[in-house]
Amino acid sequence: MGDDTLTIFFAHADAVAQRIREWNEYRLKQEIAAKERTIDIQVEKASDAKANKLAAYKLEKIQAWNEAQLERQKLRQKRFEQFKGLVFWLGGWVGSGRSGIFFFGSAMLASATFAGVTIINLPTNLSCPDPKSPCYLVYQMRFNNKSVILPQQTKDIIAEYERNKSKPKRRR
């Protein structure tokens, strides 16, 4: 009976030890899960903090960019106002006194020159009766000198016209 009691005792002791091991494993698993949750919460807080820092940094950058754009716009507006003032001052200077007379005279001379060049080159063909005539001087001032008919060319042109006049026209 002594052996049976001991066997029962050891069997109960083994069962108690097994329950204690299971309990310790369960407690260990709960502690590990609690630590994992704590770590997850800390990681989440850290990533939230990182995200907040990143968002704050981006917000600062955007605000700085907006301020720079406003400064550029103000500078552009200031330059435009300075340019406008300079244009009005220049207009007043050009339109008054000796400078006004000079610019008016220059404009008249330029427009007269342009009109003269246009009038000289306007006719498509120009016939000059004599090489010593003013028409011949105009010949030398034209852009297209080939359109001027000189006295020695007159006979050739009339002869060519008469030849072409007598030829029958071809129909296509």
For the chain, domain boundaries:
27-94, 125-166
With contact defined as beta carbons under 8 Å apart, do 69 and 77 qualify?
Answer: no
Residue at token pair 């306007």:
122
pLDDT at residue number 22: 92
Q: Average pLDDT of 79-83?
A: 95
Q: Is 164 left (phi over 0), alpha (psi -120 to 50) or beta?
A: alpha
Angle, helices 2-94 vs 97-121, to 10°: value is 90
pLDDT digits (tens, 9 = 90+) for 46-76: 788 888 888 889 889 989 999 999 999 999 9
* C-alpha dist (Å) from residue 93 to 79, 101, 106, 108: 21, 11, 15, 18
pLDDT at residue number 81: 95
With contact defined as beta carbons under 8 Å apart, do 126 and 149 qualify?
Answer: yes
